[in-house]
Structure 1
Amino acid sequence: MKIAVAGTGYVGLSIATLLAQHHEVMAVDIIEDKVNKINNRMSPIQDEYIEKYLKEKELNLTATLNAEDAYKDAVFVIIAAPTNYDSKKNFFDTSAVESVIKQVMEINPDAIMVIKSTIPVGYTQSIREKTGSKNIIFSPEFLRESKALYDNLYPSRIIVGT
């Protein structure tokens, strides 16, 4: 199965690494240095398990700057884009998530989009209504920095919903 992962921070890269053990995974990022490192099997983030898996495991993982290549045949698109929280305004900046959703809907509207980014309560329902897409679901992540792949390999809980 082809799976695309939008974003290669702790959340995205750990999920991409996990899934690339058994599926074709294309990780999309906007930072060329991160893409090059991943394609050279070097982790752009500090995570012992990701570093080890990239070096030692046989992974079907390719990183790219080209979102169209990643999304066009993907069955699932995992969205791990940043959502910066402004505590003074009590506001989540979900523009990166919305940008990915827009691109996926233009390139491959049948793909199931799984939001892993931190989003406000009610966001999934509102973005489903705003876009008219029933293919958007939410699965919160429970990861620790530098232990993200370990936490994905041995999850304490898995939650998926709309």
Structure 2
Amino acid sequence: MKVAVAGIGYVGMSNAVLLAQNHKVMAVDISEERVALVNARKSPIVDAELEEFLAHKELNLTATTDAAAAYKDADFVIVATPTNYDAQTNYFDTSSVEQVILKVLEGNDTATIVVKSTIPVGFINRIRDEFDTD
């Protein structure tokens, strides 16, 4: 099984490392620095367990900034991008999640998309309608 993980912060890295123990995983991020760290088997975030796994475990994990290439052959795409909450407007900024979903659908309409980002109630139903997909 091939898995792409969009976003290599705490949620994305945890999922990527967990799944890379048994599956081919490609992590995607907009930060070239974070991608380089993952490819050098170093954690882009401070987390003792991630650092240990990256340094010493056998993982089928690579990272890239080329989202289209990562999503192209993926069976699953995990979206773990930031959705900052604005308390004044009472609004989650889901634009990064929506951008990932659009990019996945453009290049791979058979991948199952799993959203791990914090999203408002009703978001998935809205996205299904907006992009005409399950």
The bucket for the TM-score relative to the shorter chain is: over 0.9
The 5-angstrom pairing of residues 13-162 of structure 1 reads: 13-134=13-134
Which blocks of at least 5 consecutive residues in structure 2 are unaligned? Answer: none
Once the two structures are superposed, what CA deviation does each residue of 1:33-73 show, in whole Å capped at 9, x if it has no partner? Answer: 00000000000101111000000100000000001110000
Q: Partners of 1:69 and 1:104 in 2: how far apart?
A: 10
Which blocks of at least 5 consecutive residues in structure 1 are unaligned? Answer: 135-162
Once the two structures are superposed, what CA deviation does each residue of 1:112-149 show, in whole Å capped at 9, x if it has no partner? Answer: 00000000011111111111110xxxxxxxxxxxxxxx
SS of alignment partner, residue 22 of structure 1: coil
Q: TM-score scaled to structure 2, two decimals?
A: 0.99
Q: TM-score scaled to structure 1, two decimals?
A: 0.82
SS of alignment partner, residue 37 of structure 1: helix
SS of alignment partner, residue 16 of structure 1: helix
Identical positions, percent: 59
Q: Report the structure, 1 or 2, having the larger helix content.
A: 2
Q: Partners of 1:48 and 1:128 in 2: how far apart?
A: 38
Question: Residue type matched to 2:51 in 1?
Answer: E
Question: Residue type matched to 2:52 in 1?
Answer: K
Once the two structures are superposed, what CA deviation does each residue of 1:82-127 show, in whole Å capped at 9, x if it has no partner? Answer: 1010001000000000000000000101100000000001111111
Q: Partners of 1:98 and 1:123 in 2: how far apart?
A: 10
What value does the CA root-mean-square deviation take over the aligned residues?
Answer: 0.4
Aligned residues: 134
Question: Residue type matched to 1:124 in 2?
Answer: I
Q: Partners of 1:66 and 1:92 in 2: how far apart?
A: 26
Q: Partners of 1:23 and 1:57 in 2: how far apart?
A: 13
